[in-house]
Structure 1
Amino acid sequence: MDSKTIYQHVQERYGSIARAENPEYSGAIAKAFGYSKEELNSIPKDANLGLSCGNPLAIASLRQGEIVIDLGSGAGFDVFLAAKKVGPYGRAIGVDMNKDMLARAHENLAKSTEAENITFIEAHIASIPLADGIADCVISNCVINLVPEADRPAVFTEMARILKPNGRVAISDILARKTLPLSMKENATLYTGCIAGAGTTEDYRRFLEDAGFSDIMVVDTESDLNIYINTANLLQGRNENAAGCCGQSNKSVDSVKGGEGTGEGVASSCSEVGSKGQLCSDAAVSGATVLGEDNLGACSKANLLNQDHEIADIDLNEWVGSFKIFAVKL
């Protein structure tokens, strides 16, 4: 896929997720990657969309008064947590290219009682409209792998540009454990699910070194990435037919789309909310809203990974892993 096509797929899929509701799934995923119940309860509940693949704040060592920038900030999950760590004299800035994500982030900001030190800006993370040397720390959570390969070096160059001397990067991302076949790399569903675009540890080390970073650490956390699918399936096990709304069962998805299935039984778990939308039952995935036929499966990262018949049989851990990446600007 070319860069334009990749950006289009990412915009569409993550715009759908930004408009979805899925608190039980999102909370379970965040806890699986190291976020505490106390942390999740301390921020707007709609900031966590279940899209994490790690916890960059665990290695960021944020201090009071610092400026931290989150690349690909989504609905503001890590930004709200970072803002608490840097305190009222610090600043947390979220950067995201998706208008729906930013709209949700600003809605969350309006609900927050501690919003004075938070800002969200619209931009591609390969071209950030911020001054040189503004930040003490740059964080990112499962986003850089969504950037087209040709643009990826520019992301690391931008990190170095906006960081102060001795500033640091703390990243959680999905990287490849072995070479992905072309059939996987060209699968749009796997790309928007953060799998097909996974780079290698060698890539990230080279990008960081070329951008002027030292003390580079790229470590496989050995987290179970099948947690996305397994958690969603566990929740949806309460009502098997609800899978059609949220993309966890290929057969059910076909039924909703008018494909191989007949669509019988779907009405028992989904209620119409308009000619182009449906609402999953509360018993299925805590009321996940899916907007439009083309956005089936927009409830979570798991749904991004399970909209294709071939994907159901993939062991994600065989191909990719969750890595923590840390480096210091020279």
Structure 2
Amino acid sequence: MDSTRIYNQVREHYSAASRGSPPQYSEAIAKSFGYSDQELANIPEGANLGLSCGNPLAIASIREGETVIDLGSGAGFDVFLASPKVGPNGRAIGVDMNDDMLNRANSIKASKGTAADNVTFVKGNITNMPLDSNTADCIISNCVINLVPAQEKPLVFKETHRLLKSGGRVAVSDILAKKELPEKMKNDLALYVGCIAGTSQLAEYEQWLKEAGFTEIVITDTKADLNAYLDIAEDGTKKSDCCIPAAEPVAKGSLSAGCSLKAASPCCSPEDKKTCCSAEDKANCCTTENEAEASCCSTVSSLRDALGKIDLNEWVGSYKIYAVKN
């Protein structure tokens, strides 16, 4: 896909995401990918948008006085968690290209007063960041690098290497492909902004890190369930499997024969009486008499609409990536 088109779609999607998601949903997603109750209790309201695919801080080993840079910082979730770890003598810097996300992050920072004096948000593309070389002790990122067009991904790792001090480390959570994605999936913009279509494979990640000059590279599948994006309802509870009459089984991930369990509508809940989608209603999958209660028009639902086409765990996984600049 054309890089300009990708960036425009990513900006549009994450501008919508910057308006927020139900806090119960965001908290449940964060817990699914490794954040503790204590961490979630210490973040400012509105910083967690439910967009994580891991917890990079769990492998970053951040110390007081360090400078940490978060690539694609969004509303500042990981930046605000890093802030007390680096302390008043350290710096927590978020880099993002999206004005709406930066506005939300800076608004949250302002609400924290002097407690966020060590926090800075900078506008920039993570392939070319407006920061000095040898600035950071640690660079983190959470489910963002997969959104960079394939031909530009090596630039992210070269920029990361440039910004790190000697001995500095990379601690990234990202979604990687377990196998080659079919062209139909790669060219699906909805799957792209949903962090699936733009995923790279482990060997590619390792190659780019080595070419940039990193050593001590460790890339590990966390085995986290990526279908959490589909299975967790907006109130933070796990959805029940619905919409599939027992007498009408369909192949997993198939939309042509009806709705599979993973392709069920985000509106499904135990109390709703649903009907399986017809061939003419594949986009929504299920119908309900009470559309207001269904809450089908949120950003969360839009994300599920994009991802509900496939069983995510079959194609991609949540990985933690660690490397060192010598």
Task: Find the aligned partners of 2:219 and 2:200 in 1 and give their Cα distance.
Answer: 12
Residues 262/112 of structure 1: CA separation in 2 closer, same or farther (3 Å cut): same
Among 278, 287, 293, the alignment partner of 1:269 is: 293
Task: Find the aligned partners of 2:285 and 2:183 in 1 and give their Cα distance.
Answer: 27
Match of 1:11 in 2: 11
Task: Find the aligned partners of 2:238 and 2:231 in 1 and give their Cα distance.
Answer: 10
**SS of match in other structure, 2:215:** strand
Q: Give 1 or 2: higher helix fraction.
A: 1
Residues 130/313 of structure 1: CA separation in 2 closer, same or farther (3 Å cut): closer
Task: Find the aligned partners of 1:260 and 1:63 in 2 and give their Cα distance.
Answer: 48
Alignment: residue pair count: 291
Paired residue type of 2:111 = K
Match of 2:88 in 1: 88
Task: Find the aligned partners of 2:75 and 2:42 in 1 and give their Cα distance.
Answer: 15
Paired residue type of 2:26 = S
Paired residue type of 1:160 = H
Report Cα offsets for 1:53-109 as digits up to 9, x if no partner. Answer: 000001101000000000000000000001111111100000000111111101110
Residues 313/15 of structure 1: CA separation in 2 closer, same or farther (3 Å cut): closer
Matched, 1:307 2:305: yes
Among 319, 322, 329, the alignment partner of 2:325 is: 329
Report the CA distance between 1:312 and its aligned residue: 2.9
**SS of match in other structure, 2:299:** coil
Report the CA distance between 1:37 and its aligned residue: 1.2
Task: Find the aligned partners of 2:118 and 2:194 in 1 and give their Cα distance.
Answer: 31
Paired residue type of 2:324 = V
Report the CA distance between 1:260 and its aligned residue: 10
Write the mapping of 1:147-226 to structure 2, written as runs, cut at 5 A.
Answer: 147-226=148-227
Percent same amino acid among aligned pairs? 53
Report the CA distance between 1:235 and its aligned residue: 4.6
**SS of match in other structure, 1:46:** coil
Report the CA distance between 1:315 and its aligned residue: 1.1
Report the CA distance between 1:251 and its aligned residue: 6.1
**SS of match in other structure, 2:226:** coil
Residues 96/251 of structure 1: CA separation in 2 closer, same or farther (3 Å cut): farther
Residues 110/150 of structure 1: CA separation in 2 closer, same or farther (3 Å cut): same
Report the CA distance between 1:182 and its aligned residue: 0.4
Matched, 1:2 2:37: no
Task: Find the aligned partners of 1:210 and 1:50 in 2 and give their Cα distance.
Answer: 32
TM-score for both structures, normalised by structure 1: 0.82
Write the mapping of 1:281-292 to structure 2, written as runs, cut at 5 A.
Answer: none
Task: Find the aligned partners of 1:93 and 1:251 in 2 and give their Cα distance.
Answer: 46
Matched, 1:54 2:54: yes
Stretches (4+) displaced over 4 A: 233-238, 249-252, 259-264
Residues 184/164 of structure 1: CA separation in 2 closer, same or farther (3 Å cut): same
Report the CA distance between 1:313 and its aligned residue: 4.7
Task: Find the aligned partners of 1:7 and 1:109 in 2 and give their Cα distance.
Answer: 26
Report Cα offsets for 1:217-249 as digits up to 9, x if no partner. Answer: 0111111101110013775969x9xxxxxx725
Among 263, 266, 281, the alignment partner of 1:248 is: 266
Paired residue type of 1:62 = I
**Unaligned residue ranges in structure 2 (runs of 5+):** 243-264, 268-275
Match of 2:97 in 1: 97
**SS of match in other structure, 1:28:** helix
Report Cα offsets for 1:92-145 as digits up to 9, x if no partner. Answer: 000000111111101110111411100001100001000010110000000000
Matched, 1:36 2:36: yes
Matched, 1:125 2:121: no
Task: Find the aligned partners of 2:230 and 2:86 in 1 and give their Cα distance.
Answer: 34
Report the CA distance between 1:297 and its aligned residue: 4.4
TM-score for both structures, normalised by structure 2: 0.83
Task: Find the aligned partners of 1:204 and 1:59 in 2 and give their Cα distance.
Answer: 17
Paired residue type of 2:227 = N
Match of 2:314 in 1: 318
Task: Find the aligned partners of 2:151 and 2:179 in 1 and give their Cα distance.
Answer: 20
Task: Find the aligned partners of 2:116 and 2:285 in 1 and give their Cα distance.
Answer: 49
